[in-house]
Amino acid sequence: MHSCHFCSAAVENPREVYRSSTCPACGKDLKICLNCRFYSPGAHWDCTETIDEMVRDKDRANFCTFFSFRLSSPGAKGAAKPDAGMQAKRKIDELFGNGS
């Protein structure tokens, strides 16, 4: 089953997720790193694919051509939580004005 990272709502057509696609339940972007099967905190740029550029906002829509919707864990309740390291980096970026 494929589901939204934020609200765990089922995504009926994961192959038809585009940059402008949003979750019908919560309205958040669907084509995001956190919904991708290649997202891997700790990997180079947190991605197991050989992407050309780092995607800063892992929770916002992007143009990545490698995007493939991840399968949800069976029996998982609630959305997966962002990695603590990613949260810390985001706070540092905000503090020093490195964010967009």
- Give me the tens of pLDDT residue by residue for the chain, a chain 100 residues long: 888 888 888 888 878 888 888 898 898 999 999 999 999 998 889 999 988 888 999 999 999 999 999 887 544 444 445 566 667 777 787 888 775 5
* Token pair listed for 83: 């990695």
Give pLDDT, residue 11: 85
Give pLDDT, residue 88: 75
Give pLDDT, residue 99: 56
- Domain locations along the chain: 1-100
